[in-house]
Amino acid sequence: MKFSLGPSLFFWPKQEVHDYYQRASDSSADIIYLGETVCSKRRELRAKDWLELARQLSSNTDKQIVVSTMTLLESPAEIQVMRRLCDNGDLLVEANDLSAVQMMHELKLPFVLGPAINCYNLATLKVFLKQGLVRWVMPVELSGDWLRQLLQEAEQENIRHQFECEVFSWGYLPLAYSARCFTARSEDRPKDDCQYCCINYPQGRKMNSREGERVFVLNGIQTMSGYQYNLVNEVPQMKAMGVDIARISADSDAAFMQLNNFKAQLQTPQHKALVSTTECNGYWHQIPGMSIA
Amino acid sequence: MELLCPAGNLPALKTAINNGADAVYIGLKDDTNARHFAGLNFNETKLDKAADYVHQHGKKLHVAINTFAHPDGEQRWRKAVDKAVAMGTDALIIADIGVMAYAAEKYPDVERHVSVQASTTNLEAIKFYHNNFGVSRVVLPRVLSVQQVRQLAKSSPVALEVFAFGSLCIMAEGRCYLSSYMTGESPNTVGACSPAKYVRWQETEEGLESRLNNVLIDRYKRDEHAGYPTLCKGRFEVEDNVYHALEEPTSLNTLELIPELAAMGIVSVKIEGRQRSPAYVEQVAKTWRAALDRYQQTPQDFTLEQSWMQTLANLSEGAQTTLGAYHRKWQ
């Protein structure tokens, strides 16, 4: 089983992005995803900068480097930028919208299907296999049982070997996408004059209930889970059911430590108690996502 | 432009047709559609009656099969397609790509519409459905501005339908898991957002509280109007500020956009609300029919009646309406 570092979902200054990926290249991750997936107005790094960084990492490490694309695309300009990323010549691409799937298929190139594309069953997965899917990242709201059934069906149809399966396993869960920017709204700014304010919140903005319960995290047009998802105790189970890759979402503080925690579970599984005010694992156990099983 | 109205039961369907709907959309009585609520939707007998009534009046029926098939239940979604086709639906509204593939292969002659839940927001995504499944219509999510809809309408190889009135989803539909994060059930998997069985109301010293699976969604002062606790429409805390952090209780109303939508070639305007009463459907259908007819008669000189806007505002969440994402300022 391998471990990946997901794309950063947050907006960080250019130098911090470079420093972060320097650390990533020295980390225990087997696969590194990078690229802007949330908002096209975030231009500390432009498409060519992301590709440059990706190539640099690719030549300096033996890790697999994957370029992640945007999730919610609404304008031809955004599509143009994505085309540059998709048609990059050598690096594998993670498609986070059907538009990217369409492009990769036209280019006759393989792709990773990201977690924001609604692939909930084998019939859908088979359509994507025909388009060029080589790796499927399960939608975050699905459970271990759901996955087990789907992978068993794939075995029965003798197509399980045609794709890798990846599970979002640690970090704030990307839960929703909107036309509206909630970070700008939290600063009482219109989206058209957002002043790129999410750069001031390197881990998003906390949104609590009026009783102080951490409900969600605001990250521009994206709404994330208030708690950090943590499947560290499920690593042996994932491995047993044939999950190929566990994804640790990029995080300015803890991702590298979590990578090591997760990897250690393969050697000597050890139950780790989750903290109910900051962590959750509900989705995997088919209970409310914010709960702990 | 077609006026497409919702119906959660037979009385609502008849009301919609009698009040000017050109087409009605409905769902089956199970989790294959995104308004899977108790007491709502159509079993097979009712489905037949619905189709008969609509067709006798020369109108069209669309059946929404717009949740995502479970791995152990793909048959249920396929059967839903079979049933809808067997009773003579004019169009299938589908969200799941596997279900879409099934419908396209088995019933190539039955119109397939890409559900709003499929979150198709750009030309390349439309091409994906056009090339692979020969769809005849795409329902656009409520995340695009009018300018973006116009651009898309110019280049789309497929006809476009937009949401015109009703409860406002502020997230890209089909890409919102907030409800399952809080309750375990989402529109995609179970066909309901913020399901009623998780709602609790409680009178406290600080005011009336609404909770969803025990999470405090809102707290109302004595003189405030209390609305259904859809989780994205509550008041939350961001640092020290308490406000509607995502959206206020409000409904989408695009009556004033009729000339623009018609000019850009939108084929259908959709009214949200299969969970609503026949009385609601009657008022919305009647008002929209009047407005569309007025536009038809005097396209150069279309003006809104104050009474139309008042009727629609009275039917809206929090008695207020918005142009939503169609208007850049909302974003």
CB environment A93-117: b (16+ within 10 A), e (fewer)? bbbbbbbbbbbbbbeebebbbbbbb
CA of A262 to nearest chain B CA: how many angstroms apart? 23
Question: Integer distance in angstroms from the first to the last C-alpha of chain A?
Answer: 24
> Is A253's pLDDT higher than 80?
no
What span, in angstroms and rounded, lies between the C-alpha atoms of A235 and A245? 10
Spatial contact of B60 and B22, defined as CB atoms under 8 Å apart: yes
Q: What is the DSSP string of A80-130?
A: HHHHHHHT-SSSEEEE-SHHHHHHHHHTT--EEE-TTS---SHHHHHHHHH
Q: Which of B145, B168, B116, B117 is nearest to B264 (CA)?
A: B145
Amino acid in the structure at residue A227: Y
Q: What is the mean pLDDT of chain B?
A: 95
Query: Which pLDDT does position A78 carry in this prediction?
Result: 97
Spatial contact of A238 and A289, defined as CB atoms under 8 Å apart: no
Query: Which pLDDT does position B10 carry in this prediction?
Result: 97
CB contacts under 8 A, A 84-103 vs B, are 97-103
Strands A245-248 and A164-178: parallel
What span, in angstroms and rounded, lies between the C-alpha atoms of B19 and B286? 5
Spatial contact of B299 and B194, defined as CB atoms under 8 Å apart: no
Contact A98/B215, CB-based, under 8 Å?
no
CA of B186 to nearest chain A CA: how many angstroms apart? 9
What span, in angstroms and rounded, lies between the C-alpha atoms of B123 and A74? 9
Amino acid in the structure at residue A105: H
| Cβ atoms within 10 Å of A132's Cβ, excluding its own | 18
What span, in angstroms and rounded, lies between the C-alpha atoms of B54 and B112? 19
Q: Select from A123, A210, A283 the Cβ nearest to the Cβ of B219.
A: A210
CB contacts under 8 A, A 116-175 vs B, are 116, 118-128, 139-142, 146, 149-150, 153, 173, 175
Q: pLDDT > 90: what percent of chain B?
A: 89
Quote the distance between the C-alpha of residue A147 and its chain's center.
Answer: 17
Q: Would you say the pTM of this structure is higher than 0.90?
A: yes
Q: State whether ipTM is beyond 0.95.
A: yes
> Is A252's pLDDT higher than 80?
no
- Read off the pLDDT of residues B135-155 as tens digits, 9 standing for 90 and up: 999 999 999 999 999 999 999
Q: Could you tell me which residues come within 8 angstroms of residue B211 by beta carbon, excluding any fewer than 6 positions away?
A: B199, B200, B201, B202, B217, B229
Q: Where are the beta strands (DSSP E) in B82-136?
A: 91-94, 111-114
Neighbour-count burial of B37, counting CB atoms closer than 10 A to its CB (0-12 exposed, 13-18 middle, 19+ buried): middle
Tell me the two tokens of residue A51: 């590709």
Tell me the two tokens of residue A174: 């990307």
Contact A102/B236, CB-based, under 8 Å?
no
Can you tell me the mean pLDDT for A237-254?
A: 94
- Would you report the helix, strand and coil content of chain A in percent, each value rounded to 5? 40, 20, 40
What span, in angstroms and rounded, lies between the C-alpha atoms of B122 and A277? 39
- Read off the pLDDT of residues A46-72 as tens digits, 9 standing for 90 and up: 999 999 999 999 999 999 999 999 999
- Residue B39's pLDDT band, with cuts at 50, 70 and 90, is confident
Return the DSSP state at A274. P
Q: Select from A76, A141, A186 the Cβ nearest to the Cβ of B238.
A: A186
Q: Select from A141, A186, A191 the Cβ nearest to the Cβ of B189.
A: A141
